[in-house]
Amino acid sequence: MWFRKGLRIHDNPALEYAVKNSTHVYPLFVIDPHYMKPDPTAFSPGSKLAGLNRIRFLLESLVDLDSNLKKLGSRLLVLHGEPSDVVIRCLKEWDIKRLCYEFDTEPYYQALDSKVKLRKWGWIHHLARHSVACFLTRGDLFVHWEKGRDVFERLLVDSDWAINNGNWLWLSCSAFFYQYHRIYSPITFGKKYDPTGAYIRHFLPVLKDMPKEYIYEPWTAPLSVQTKANCIIGKDYPNPIISHEIASKECKTKLAAAYKLNKVTNGVVTDEDMQNLRRQLVENADQSQGTASKRLKQKLI
Protein backbone atom coordinates (compact mmCIF):
# COMPACT_ATOMS: atom_id res chain seq x y z
CA MET A 1 0.00 0.00 0.00
CA TRP A 2 1.70 3.15 -1.25
CA PHE A 3 0.57 6.13 0.85
CA ARG A 4 0.87 9.44 -0.94
CA LYS A 5 -1.48 12.22 0.22
CA GLY A 6 -4.21 10.26 2.00
CA LEU A 7 -2.10 9.73 5.14
CA ARG A 8 -4.87 8.13 7.19
CA ILE A 9 -6.42 4.75 7.90
CA HIS A 10 -10.06 5.85 8.00
CA ASP A 11 -11.91 6.82 4.81
CA ASN A 12 -9.14 5.41 2.64
CA PRO A 13 -10.58 3.44 -0.33
CA ALA A 14 -7.12 2.44 -1.57
CA LEU A 15 -6.23 0.91 1.79
CA GLU A 16 -9.57 -0.89 2.01
CA TYR A 17 -8.95 -2.37 -1.42
CA ALA A 18 -5.40 -3.37 -0.45
CA VAL A 19 -6.45 -5.48 2.53
CA LYS A 20 -9.06 -7.40 0.54
CA ASN A 21 -7.86 -10.91 -0.30
CA SER A 22 -4.31 -10.09 0.84
CA THR A 23 -2.23 -12.15 3.28
CA HIS A 24 0.23 -9.31 3.87
CA VAL A 25 0.08 -5.53 3.34
CA TYR A 26 3.20 -3.37 3.34
CA PRO A 27 2.30 0.26 4.25
CA LEU A 28 4.83 2.44 2.46
CA PHE A 29 5.60 6.14 2.13
CA VAL A 30 8.44 7.49 0.00
CA ILE A 31 10.02 10.81 0.88
CA ASP A 32 10.92 12.57 -2.35
CA PRO A 33 14.31 14.31 -2.03
CA HIS A 34 13.09 17.12 -4.32
CA TYR A 35 10.30 17.90 -1.85
CA MET A 36 12.64 18.12 1.15
CA LYS A 37 15.84 19.64 -0.27
CA PRO A 38 16.36 23.18 1.17
CA ASP A 39 16.22 26.01 -1.33
CA PRO A 40 18.02 29.16 -0.11
CA THR A 41 16.67 31.14 -3.08
CA ALA A 42 12.98 30.58 -2.20
CA PHE A 43 10.97 33.53 -0.83
CA SER A 44 10.29 31.65 2.43
CA PRO A 45 12.19 28.99 4.42
CA GLY A 46 11.77 25.46 3.08
CA SER A 47 12.37 23.59 -0.14
CA LYS A 48 11.66 24.53 -3.73
CA LEU A 49 8.25 22.84 -3.55
CA ALA A 50 7.08 23.48 0.01
CA GLY A 51 7.44 25.87 2.93
CA LEU A 52 8.40 24.78 6.45
CA ASN A 53 4.79 24.55 7.60
CA ARG A 54 3.89 22.09 4.84
CA ILE A 55 7.00 19.99 5.49
CA ARG A 56 6.33 19.96 9.25
CA PHE A 57 2.70 19.02 8.64
CA LEU A 58 3.79 16.13 6.40
CA LEU A 59 6.20 14.74 9.01
CA GLU A 60 3.61 15.04 11.79
CA SER A 61 1.06 13.25 9.59
CA LEU A 62 3.53 10.42 8.97
CA VAL A 63 4.10 10.03 12.72
CA ASP A 64 0.35 9.94 13.30
CA LEU A 65 -0.18 7.37 10.55
CA ASP A 66 2.57 5.16 11.93
CA SER A 67 1.02 5.39 15.40
CA ASN A 68 -2.38 4.29 14.10
CA LEU A 69 -0.86 1.43 12.12
CA LYS A 70 1.04 0.33 15.21
CA LYS A 71 -2.27 -0.08 17.06
CA LEU A 72 -3.26 -2.55 14.35
CA GLY A 73 -0.03 -4.53 14.68
CA SER A 74 1.73 -2.92 11.72
CA ARG A 75 4.19 -0.08 11.06
CA LEU A 76 4.71 2.50 8.34
CA LEU A 77 7.74 1.89 6.15
CA VAL A 78 9.32 5.23 5.26
CA LEU A 79 11.89 5.20 2.47
CA HIS A 80 13.81 7.99 0.76
CA GLY A 81 14.43 8.47 -2.95
CA GLU A 82 12.78 9.02 -6.31
CA PRO A 83 9.27 7.63 -5.59
CA SER A 84 8.78 5.74 -8.85
CA ASP A 85 12.24 4.13 -8.64
CA VAL A 86 11.82 3.18 -4.97
CA VAL A 87 8.37 1.67 -5.48
CA ILE A 88 9.47 -0.39 -8.50
CA ARG A 89 12.49 -1.71 -6.57
CA CYS A 90 10.28 -2.69 -3.63
CA LEU A 91 7.86 -4.50 -5.93
CA LYS A 92 10.70 -6.62 -7.28
CA GLU A 93 12.65 -7.24 -4.06
CA TRP A 94 9.58 -8.03 -1.94
CA ASP A 95 7.85 -9.98 -4.71
CA ILE A 96 4.72 -7.80 -4.47
CA LYS A 97 1.82 -8.96 -6.62
CA ARG A 98 -0.44 -5.93 -6.29
CA LEU A 99 0.26 -2.22 -5.80
CA CYS A 100 -2.48 -0.04 -4.32
CA TYR A 101 -2.32 3.73 -4.00
CA GLU A 102 -4.45 6.85 -3.93
CA PHE A 103 -4.84 8.56 -7.29
CA ASP A 104 -3.24 11.99 -7.16
CA THR A 105 -4.38 14.84 -9.41
CA GLU A 106 -1.14 16.74 -8.90
CA PRO A 107 1.01 16.55 -12.04
CA TYR A 108 4.18 16.36 -9.95
CA TYR A 109 3.06 12.88 -8.79
CA GLN A 110 0.38 12.33 -11.28
CA ALA A 111 -0.29 41.83 0.28
CA LEU A 112 -3.16 41.47 2.40
CA ASP A 113 -2.93 40.90 6.17
CA SER A 114 -3.91 37.29 5.59
CA LYS A 115 -0.39 36.71 4.28
CA VAL A 116 0.89 37.09 7.84
CA LYS A 117 -1.38 34.24 8.96
CA LEU A 118 -0.50 32.19 5.89
CA ARG A 119 3.20 32.38 6.69
CA LYS A 120 2.69 31.74 10.42
CA TRP A 121 0.11 28.95 10.41
CA GLY A 122 0.06 27.67 6.84
CA TRP A 123 -3.71 28.15 6.75
CA ILE A 124 -6.25 30.93 6.22
CA HIS A 125 -10.05 30.90 6.10
CA HIS A 126 -11.57 30.31 2.67
CA LEU A 127 -13.13 33.79 2.69
CA ALA A 128 -9.71 35.29 3.31
CA ARG A 129 -8.37 33.21 0.42
CA HIS A 130 -11.08 34.70 -1.81
CA SER A 131 -10.22 38.22 -0.73
CA VAL A 132 -6.48 37.70 -1.26
CA ALA A 133 -6.96 36.14 -4.70
CA CYS A 134 -9.28 38.90 -5.90
CA PHE A 135 -7.03 41.66 -4.57
CA LEU A 136 -3.93 40.24 -6.23
CA THR A 137 -5.56 39.63 -9.61
CA ARG A 138 -8.67 41.28 -11.08
CA GLY A 139 -9.58 43.39 -8.05
CA ASP A 140 -6.58 45.66 -7.60
CA LEU A 141 -3.06 44.62 -8.58
CA PHE A 142 -3.82 42.79 -11.85
CA VAL A 143 -1.05 40.27 -11.19
CA HIS A 144 -1.19 36.95 -13.06
CA TRP A 145 -3.15 34.35 -11.08
CA GLU A 146 -0.32 31.82 -11.32
CA LYS A 147 1.83 34.02 -9.05
CA GLY A 148 -0.71 33.74 -6.25
CA ARG A 149 -1.31 30.07 -6.91
CA ASP A 150 2.40 29.34 -6.43
CA VAL A 151 2.45 31.11 -3.05
CA PHE A 152 -0.60 29.16 -1.82
CA GLU A 153 0.87 25.90 -3.15
CA ARG A 154 4.04 26.51 -1.18
CA LEU A 155 2.63 27.78 2.12
CA LEU A 156 -0.79 26.16 2.64
CA VAL A 157 -0.61 22.90 4.60
CA ASP A 158 -3.93 21.80 3.03
CA SER A 159 -2.97 22.75 -0.52
CA ASP A 160 -4.38 20.51 -3.25
CA TRP A 161 -3.11 21.02 -6.79
CA ALA A 162 -6.46 20.72 -8.56
CA ILE A 163 -8.46 22.76 -6.04
CA ASN A 164 -5.78 25.43 -5.77
CA ASN A 165 -5.56 25.93 -9.54
CA GLY A 166 -9.33 25.83 -9.95
CA ASN A 167 -9.93 28.41 -7.24
CA TRP A 168 -7.36 30.83 -8.62
CA LEU A 169 -8.77 30.47 -12.14
CA TRP A 170 -12.26 31.10 -10.75
CA LEU A 171 -11.44 34.07 -8.53
CA SER A 172 -9.31 35.78 -11.17
CA CYS A 173 -12.15 35.38 -13.69
CA SER A 174 -9.78 33.54 -15.99
CA ALA A 175 -12.16 30.58 -16.21
CA PHE A 176 -15.43 29.21 -14.78
CA PHE A 177 -16.61 32.57 -13.40
CA TYR A 178 -17.05 35.65 -15.56
CA GLN A 179 -18.75 38.31 -13.43
CA TYR A 180 -15.55 40.33 -13.25
CA HIS A 181 -17.43 43.43 -12.08
CA ARG A 182 -18.09 41.75 -8.72
CA ILE A 183 -14.98 42.65 -6.75
CA TYR A 184 -14.11 42.02 -3.11
CA SER A 185 -13.24 45.24 -1.35
CA PRO A 186 -10.35 44.69 1.07
CA ILE A 187 -12.05 47.23 3.34
CA THR A 188 -15.79 46.51 3.28
CA PHE A 189 -15.23 42.75 3.03
CA GLY A 190 -13.46 42.74 6.39
CA LYS A 191 -15.96 45.08 8.01
CA LYS A 192 -18.79 42.74 7.06
CA TYR A 193 -17.35 39.58 8.59
CA ASP A 194 -15.22 41.02 11.40
CA PRO A 195 -16.55 44.49 12.33
CA THR A 196 -14.30 44.88 15.39
CA GLY A 197 -11.14 43.87 13.50
CA ALA A 198 -10.24 41.04 15.90
CA TYR A 199 -8.55 39.13 13.08
CA ILE A 200 -6.31 42.08 12.20
CA ARG A 201 -5.50 42.89 15.83
CA HIS A 202 -4.32 39.34 16.43
CA PHE A 203 -2.09 38.95 13.39
CA LEU A 204 -0.98 42.59 13.17
CA PRO A 205 -0.43 43.59 16.79
CA VAL A 206 0.92 46.95 15.64
CA LEU A 207 -2.74 47.86 14.96
CA LYS A 208 -4.20 46.33 18.13
CA ASP A 209 -4.97 49.68 19.75
CA MET A 210 -6.44 51.32 16.65
CA PRO A 211 -10.15 52.26 17.16
CA LYS A 212 -12.50 49.94 15.27
CA GLU A 213 -13.76 52.76 13.03
CA TYR A 214 -10.22 53.03 11.63
CA ILE A 215 -8.98 49.45 11.91
CA TYR A 216 -9.60 48.70 8.21
CA GLU A 217 -8.40 52.11 7.02
CA PRO A 218 -5.78 53.20 9.59
CA TRP A 219 -4.33 55.74 7.16
CA THR A 220 -7.56 57.75 7.49
CA ALA A 221 -7.20 58.13 11.24
CA PRO A 222 -6.23 61.61 12.46
CA LEU A 223 -2.65 61.93 13.62
CA SER A 224 -3.85 62.31 17.22
CA VAL A 225 -5.62 58.95 16.99
CA GLN A 226 -2.58 57.30 15.43
CA THR A 227 -0.37 58.69 18.17
CA LYS A 228 -2.67 57.42 20.90
CA ALA A 229 -2.75 53.99 19.24
CA ASN A 230 1.07 53.95 19.05
CA CYS A 231 0.88 53.39 15.32
CA ILE A 232 1.93 56.18 12.98
CA ILE A 233 1.04 55.33 9.39
CA GLY A 234 4.09 55.53 7.16
CA LYS A 235 6.36 54.81 10.11
CA ASP A 236 5.00 51.95 12.20
CA TYR A 237 2.65 50.63 9.53
CA PRO A 238 2.98 51.19 5.76
CA ASN A 239 0.79 53.45 3.67
CA PRO A 240 -1.61 51.75 1.21
CA ILE A 241 0.22 50.30 -1.78
CA ILE A 242 -2.69 51.19 -4.05
CA SER A 243 -6.03 53.00 -4.14
CA HIS A 244 -8.72 50.31 -4.29
CA GLU A 245 -11.28 52.71 -5.77
CA ILE A 246 -9.03 53.68 -8.67
CA ALA A 247 -7.37 50.30 -9.23
CA SER A 248 -10.63 48.32 -9.26
CA LYS A 249 -12.05 50.58 -11.98
CA GLU A 250 -8.91 50.15 -14.09
CA CYS A 251 -9.07 46.36 -13.65
CA LYS A 252 -12.72 46.31 -14.76
CA THR A 253 -11.81 48.32 -17.86
CA LYS A 254 -9.02 45.89 -18.77
CA LEU A 255 -11.17 42.83 -18.24
CA ALA A 256 -14.07 44.31 -20.19
CA ALA A 257 -11.74 44.91 -23.14
CA ALA A 258 -10.32 41.40 -22.87
CA TYR A 259 -13.75 39.77 -22.79
CA LYS A 260 -14.85 41.87 -25.75
CA LEU A 261 -11.78 40.79 -27.74
CA ASN A 262 -12.45 37.16 -26.86
CA LYS A 263 -16.03 37.49 -28.11
CA VAL A 264 -15.05 39.24 -31.35
CA THR A 265 -12.43 36.62 -32.17
CA ASN A 266 -14.73 33.77 -31.14
CA GLY A 267 -12.20 32.66 -28.56
CA VAL A 268 -9.25 32.51 -30.96
CA VAL A 269 -7.02 35.28 -29.60
CA THR A 270 -3.56 35.62 -31.17
CA ASP A 271 -0.41 37.14 -29.68
CA GLU A 272 -0.84 40.06 -32.08
CA ASP A 273 -4.38 40.62 -30.80
CA MET A 274 -3.07 40.76 -27.22
CA GLN A 275 -0.28 43.17 -28.17
CA ASN A 276 -2.79 45.48 -29.87
CA LEU A 277 -5.07 45.28 -26.84
CA ARG A 278 -2.27 46.20 -24.45
CA ARG A 279 -1.26 49.10 -26.69
CA GLN A 280 -4.83 50.37 -26.83
CA LEU A 281 -5.24 50.14 -23.05
CA VAL A 282 -2.01 52.10 -22.52
CA GLU A 283 -3.12 54.78 -24.98
CA ASN A 284 -6.52 55.04 -23.30
CA ALA A 285 -4.89 55.34 -19.90
CA ASP A 286 -2.57 58.11 -21.16
CA GLN A 287 -5.53 59.98 -22.65
CA SER A 288 -7.45 59.70 -19.38
CA GLN A 289 -4.51 61.02 -17.40
CA GLY A 290 -4.10 63.86 -19.87
CA THR A 291 -7.76 64.80 -19.57
CA ALA A 292 -7.58 64.68 -15.78
CA SER A 293 -4.48 66.90 -15.76
CA LYS A 294 -6.17 69.38 -18.11
CA ARG A 295 -9.23 69.60 -15.87
CA LEU A 296 -7.05 70.12 -12.82
CA LYS A 297 -5.12 72.86 -14.62
CA GLN A 298 -8.37 74.60 -15.60
CA LYS A 299 -9.53 74.51 -12.00
CA LEU A 300 -6.26 75.97 -10.80
CA ILE A 301 -6.49 78.76 -13.38
pLDDT computed for residue 210 by the predictor: 96
pLDDT in tens, 222-276: 999 999 999 999 999 999 988 999 999 999 999 999 999 999 999 899 999 999 9
H helical segments located in the chain: 13-19, 33-36, 52-71, 83-93, 114-121, 126-134, 145-155, 161-171, 188-193, 198-203, 223-228, 244-264, 271-300
pLDDT for res 36: 86
Q: How confident is the model at residue 301 (pLDDT cuts 50, 70, 90)?
A: very low
Whether residue 221 contacts residue 233, with contact meaning beta carbons closer than 8 Å, is answered with yes
pLDDT at 103: 60
Residue 105: pLDDT over 80? no
User: Do residues 87 and 99 make contact, with C-beta atoms less than 8 angstroms apart?
Assistant: yes
Report the SS3 class of residue 191.
helix
* CATH fold for the domain made of 2-93: Rossmann fold (3.40.50)
Where is average pLDDT lowest: 12-26, 46-60, 117-131, 271-285?
Answer: 117-131
The answer, yes or no, to whether residue 114 has pLDDT greater than 70, is no
Query: How high is the pLDDT of residue 104?
Result: 54
Contact by Cβ (8 Å): 136, 143: yes
Grade residue 111 by pLDDT with cuts at 50, 70 and 90.
very low
DSSP letter for each residue of 71-136: HTT---EEEES-HHHHHHHHHHHTT-S---B-----TTT---THHHHHHHHS---HHHHHHHHHII
Q: Could you report the per-residue pLDDT of 2-19, keeping only the tens digit for each?
A: 898 889 998 888 888 888
Query: Would you list the domain boundaries of the chain?
Result: 2-93, 244-300
For residues 169 and 150, the answer to whether their CB atoms sit within 8 Å is no
The dihedral over CA atoms of 50, 53, 55, 58, expressed in degrees to the nearest 10, equals -120
Q: What is the pLDDT of residue 40?
A: 87
pTM confidence score? 0.63
Percentage, residues of the chain above pLDDT 90: 43
Whether residue 296 is predicted with pLDDT greater than 50 in this model: the reply is no
Is the pLDDT at 57 greater than 50? The verdict is yes
